[in-house]
Amino acid sequence: MFTDIWIARRSALSLSKTLMVVTLVIAVGQQFAVITAEDADGDVAIVQEFDPFA
């Protein structure tokens, strides 16, 4: 979990480029988490999406 949105975004971008998968920054209360798009269900608050193929 991240408390700083900028650190979460950098981590998501780096992970997306390294694994070549779509990653998402999601809000969990007052914190942020980075998950892959495969792990997301319809009940998450997506802040930003990183697609390495775009």
Tell me whether residue 38 is in a domain.
Answer: no
Tell me whether residue 23 is in a domain.
Answer: yes
Tens-digit pLDDT profile for residues 8-39: 999 999 999 999 999 999 999 999 999 999 99
Tell me whether residue 14 is in a domain.
Answer: yes
Tell me whether residue 21 is in a domain.
Answer: yes
Tell me whether residue 39 is in a domain.
Answer: no
Q: Which domain holds residue 15?
A: 1-29
Q: What is the pTM of this model?
A: 0.90
Tell me whether residue 47 is in a domain.
Answer: no
Residue 51 burial by CB count (10 A; 0-12/13-18/19+): exposed, middle or buried? exposed
Question: What's the rounded Cα separation, in Å, for the pair 6 and 40?
Answer: 21
Query: What is the reported pLDDT for 42?
Result: 83
Task: Label residue 46 left, alpha or beta by phi (over 0 means left) and psi (-120 to 50 means alpha).
Answer: beta
Question: What's the rounded Cα separation, in Å, for the pair 31 and 38?
Answer: 21
Domain count, the chain: 1
